[in-house]
Structure 1
């Protein structure tokens, strides 16, 4: 986790003078994140702090990258932080909580359930997660002409095809994020109503 954090600091520190070096360091940090998560799950070394720390690093790194691409894209980062706040209140098993034991407000839509099921290990889940993690890197590569200058062996249509696939995946992920936030808001409203009712009964 801390090695990844160091890589992110190095990556963003080199952003202005070497986009290629930034891309290598940033991508390496993501790969290390995946390996770290896999190793922790395999050897039973998962922790609440580790899970929280990984998401925080993800959100910070993507937020900085979105803001670099365009200031208005910071709104995507804002949605990610809102979703993290809402899901974190449900604990480490928030995915299964939302699917198997949905809140009293409503059950998840079919599309959302398909994304969340089996810990994102499904076609819809992979599609959404790819849009979440890969889209900002992909757009960065196009903005700095990484494909045309350094990946000349890649057919010209691939970058644009990738944008279509990743943008649609990010929209799918955004739908899930919006649903999580809306569900959390409804739960807050329901709980607030229950508290008011109990207070009124006590006062009476």
Structure 2
């Protein structure tokens, strides 16, 4: 074998070694990433979320069996676990985008189910409003507004800023969340003649709490539409400048 051939063979071997090393590194990185993803899936708050999925399925099942009181009980447990998983995420420092996404999706499904069980039109209206708001929040997150509860309301009137302060952990925010979760439950229970520890005064309070939620949702929609129009206007202005040059 000539010296030239030997040198060429050595160079090829080095290239192959480099490629093999890079491939091995990628495989190790992929394995680590998979392990990290599985670890996130097994976060305690996410495990609680999976339990809430089962409870949601049970709600549908009990409704079809005409065991409406079991629907009410299951929804109450479902809602309590919503509080528990949030507390667990903060206490254990196991917050994740996946967990937050699953949490909101389950909340929307649970409330939409009760609204539809109470009245199909109410289910369509409130379900659509909540899903539309959720979609707009996801768009805001994609635009770098992951902390939407703060950023989206920075230029809002003082009433909205207070309502959204401390992540809704204030008297008005608590009232709003109570209306969000308990009003459809109270109406569903009343629709099927179930005895619940709520009177007409509480019903009115819950309606007002849900109205606060509608105000928030309306402001989110307003802000999203405003941003869309602003971006569209900017793009059109740039197009006009480009065509005029």
Structure 1 length-normalised TM: 0.88
- Give the superposed CA RMSD: 1.4
Residues 1:93 and 2:142 are matched in the alignment: no
Count the aligned residue pairs. Answer: 190
Residue equivalent to 1:104: none
Alignment of 1:142-157 (within 5 A): 142-147=190-195
Alignment of 1:34-45 (within 5 A): 34-45=83-94
Quick one: distance in 2 between partners of 1:145 and 1:110? 41
Residue equivalent to 1:129: 177
Answer yes or no: is the 8 Å Cα contact 1:90–1:97 preserved in 2. no
Structure 1 spans left out of the alignment, 5+ residues:
101-106
Answer yes or no: is the 8 Å Cα contact 1:142–1:159 preserved in 2. no
Residue equivalent to 1:103: none
Structure 1 counterpart SS, 2:207: helix
Residues 1:78 and 2:118 are matched in the alignment: no
Residue equivalent to 2:98: 49
Answer yes or no: is the 8 Å Cα contact 2:152–2:223 preserved in 1. no
Quick one: distance in 2 between partners of 1:143 and 1:191? 45
Quick one: distance in 2 between partners of 1:170 and 1:136? 9
Quick one: distance in 1 between partners of 2:201 and 2:89? 34
Quick one: distance in 2 between partners of 1:53 and 1:123? 26
Which entry has the higher C-alpha Rg, 1 or 2? 2
Q: How far did residue 114 of structure 1 move?
A: 1.8
**Moved >3 Å (runs of 4+):** none
Q: How far did residue 95 of structure 1 move?
A: 0.5
Structure 2 length-normalised TM: 0.74
1:64-94 Cα distance to aligned partner (Å, 9 max, x none): 2111111110201111111111122222311
Q: How far did residue 99 of structure 1 move?
A: 2.9
Quick one: distance in 2 between partners of 1:137 and 1:162? 12
Quick one: distance in 2 between partners of 1:109 and 1:166? 23
